[in-house]
Amino acid sequence: MARVQPLSGFPEWTPQERLVEAHVLATLREVFALHGFGEIETRAVEPVERLAGDSEASKEIYAIGRLNADEQAGREAKLGLHFDLTVPFARYVEENQGRLQFPFRRFQIQKVWRGERPQEGRFREFYQADIDVVGRDRLPEHLEAEVAIVMARALRELPLPPARMHLNNRALVEGFYRGVGILDVAGALRSVDKLDKIGADGVREELHGKGVSPEAVGAILELAAIQTPDGSFVDLVEALWDHAPIVDDADEAREHFDRGARSLAALVDAVNAAVPDTALADLRIARGLDYYTGAVYETVLEGHEDLGSICSGGRYDSLVAGGGFPGVGMSIGVSRLVSRMLGANLATATRSVPSAVLVAVTDEEHRAASSALADRLRTRGIPTEVSPNAAKFGKQIQYADRRGIPFVWFPPAPGDGGDGEVKDIRSGDQVPADADAWTPPTEDLKPRIVRG
């Protein structure tokens, strides 16, 4: 038989690692639901042309089809696995708009597939968790803060270092760019979005290549350098406008700029009031995607900045082509986050299996008695397994220890009364116990996720 070759980019965790991942997923669900977000799940496939749109995303799409391609050829559109949750969510809202209540608050946690080169923290198959609020024709601005607050609270519930949310506003940035005479604002934003990758000199060279004047380049790099933990950035950006090379007839651009500055200041203050020491106004954050129109977010873990943004998103004018569905949303790359949690020992499970108790087997003739005792514990919600063999009790204790099971239950000897005795194999304490009354300590009932 040929040796199995591993596939890179498709993470497969051990049971103990999977407990960490499951804890993250459960925590996100709990916090999202606590704030009134309802869960949806969309199909894994969409027509390839819908997934790709006008972008170069088609390079990352995994196309699928039946093995008997001739049978399917020409009968239905070519399908692809979704590479994020935004495209399927847009289709879901468009198809179900008559059955939804707006503003529609949804969260979605599913696997996505992306055909990019695997590397640390980047996978071809991974979990993504999104929250969005979508309105019908209008969406109150205060929801931009609410979405950020929900995400910040979710991250604080996880065994992670402090997360800092870097916030900007596209109206502020676009107004400033237009004010200094940049016509291709979207192109300039995509260049500035590369600051962390290619540095200021690389961005300057790229913008010069797009025809942006040296004076304008200098001004937008100055803007990108502004970062404050509160609304004090407003004075800094206004001073920058006053000495920047502003073009004539920039009144509309200035109005755009002022509106964005006010919105960003309110956003930073609201997030920090709800989740202290979380938000930063960071005028470097651009989010190169064209559809963002208001707040934009990127989140990094303190001490793990090399991981990049673990959570990002922003405000958009329309989720659905044709308009009418403005919204705001954020997305967490769950597998990316879990990979760092495991690799950097930020979190671990207290044991690798759910079992709190191993019921020993005196001999195979009496295995049924051990199984019946285990079922009595299970009916009371105590995770229990039965020893796979009737070896000497010392061997069965070793088996429990290797599995990380804290308690071993010894059934009574044939003919004896009672339910036997239970042993804490960590301390050595062993006491008589009643299977209908005994309960392990709360901290031992189920595996817990603790900071590494």
- Closest to 264 in 3D by CA, of 164, 144, 179: 144
What is the count of structural domains for the chain? 3
User: Does residue 52 belong to any structural domain of this protein?
Assistant: yes
User: Does residue 206 belong to any structural domain of this protein?
Assistant: yes
Model confidence at 299: pLDDT above 70: yes
Same domain, 198 and 311: no
User: Does residue 2 belong to any structural domain of this protein?
Assistant: no
| Average pLDDT of every residue of the chain | 92
Q: Is the pTM of this model over 0.75?
A: yes
- Closest to 287 in 3D by CA, of 196, 225, 226, 199: 196
Name the binding residues. 84-86, 114, 128, 132, 287, 291-292
User: Does residue 59 belong to any structural domain of this protein?
Assistant: yes
Query: Containing domain of residue 191, as a range?
Result: 169-280+289-297
Which CATH number goes with the domain that contains 102?
Answer: 3.30.930.10
User: Does residue 242 belong to any structural domain of this protein?
Assistant: yes
Question: Do residues 192 and 166 make contact, with C-beta atoms less than 8 angstroms apart?
Answer: no
> Given this model, what pLDDT does residue 269 score?
97
Same domain, 368 and 274: no
pLDDT average, residue stretch 421-445: 97
User: Does residue 109 belong to any structural domain of this protein?
Assistant: yes
> Containing H/E element for 401?
helix 393-403
Token pair in block for residue 154: 């979710």
Model confidence at 155: pLDDT above 70: yes
Name the binding residues for L-histidine. 84-86, 114, 128, 132, 287, 291-292
> Given this model, what pLDDT does residue 288 score?
63
Model confidence at 219: pLDDT above 80: yes
CA distance 107 to 331: 10
- 417: confidence class by pLDDT, cuts 50, 70, 90: confident
Question: Do residues 168 and 284 make contact, with C-beta atoms less than 8 angstroms apart?
Answer: yes
CA distance 86 to 128: 11
User: Does residue 236 belong to any structural domain of this protein?
Assistant: yes
**67 vs 403, residue with greater confidence:** 403
> Given this model, what pLDDT does residue 75 score?
55
Same domain, 65 and 173: no
Which CATH number goes with the domain that contains 441?
Answer: 3.40.50.800
- 365: confidence class by pLDDT, cuts 50, 70, 90: very high
Question: Do residues 329 and 313 make contact, with C-beta atoms less than 8 angstroms apart?
Answer: yes
> Given this model, what pLDDT does residue 424 score?
98
The residues that bridge with 296 in the sheet, in sequence order, are 168, 314
Question: Do residues 327 and 132 make contact, with C-beta atoms less than 8 angstroms apart?
Answer: yes
CA distance 340 to 307: 8
Same domain, 125 and 225: no
Same domain, 30 and 152: yes
> Given this model, what pLDDT does residue 59 score?
77
Give the N- to C-terminal CA distance of the chain in Å, as an integer.
40
CA distance 388 to 212: 73
Same domain, 222 and 257: yes
> Given this model, what pLDDT does residue 430 score?
97
Question: Do residues 424 and 401 make contact, with C-beta atoms less than 8 angstroms apart?
Answer: no
pLDDT average, residue stretch 132-161: 96
pLDDT digits (tens, 9 = 90+) for 170-180: 999 999 999 99
Same domain, 114 and 20: yes
CA distance 188 to 211: 10
Same domain, 214 and 236: yes
pLDDT digits (tens, 9 = 90+) for 250-296: 999 999 999 999 999 999 999 999 999 999 999 999 876 678 899 99
Same domain, 252 and 321: no
User: Does residue 1 belong to any structural domain of this protein?
Assistant: no
Same domain, 255 and 342: no
Same domain, 28 and 155: yes
pLDDT digits (tens, 9 = 90+) for 53-74: 655 666 788 988 876 655 555 5
List Cβ neighbours of 295 (8 Å cut-off, separation of 6 or more).
144, 148, 167, 168, 169, 170, 263, 264, 267, 314, 315, 328
Same domain, 130 and 224: no
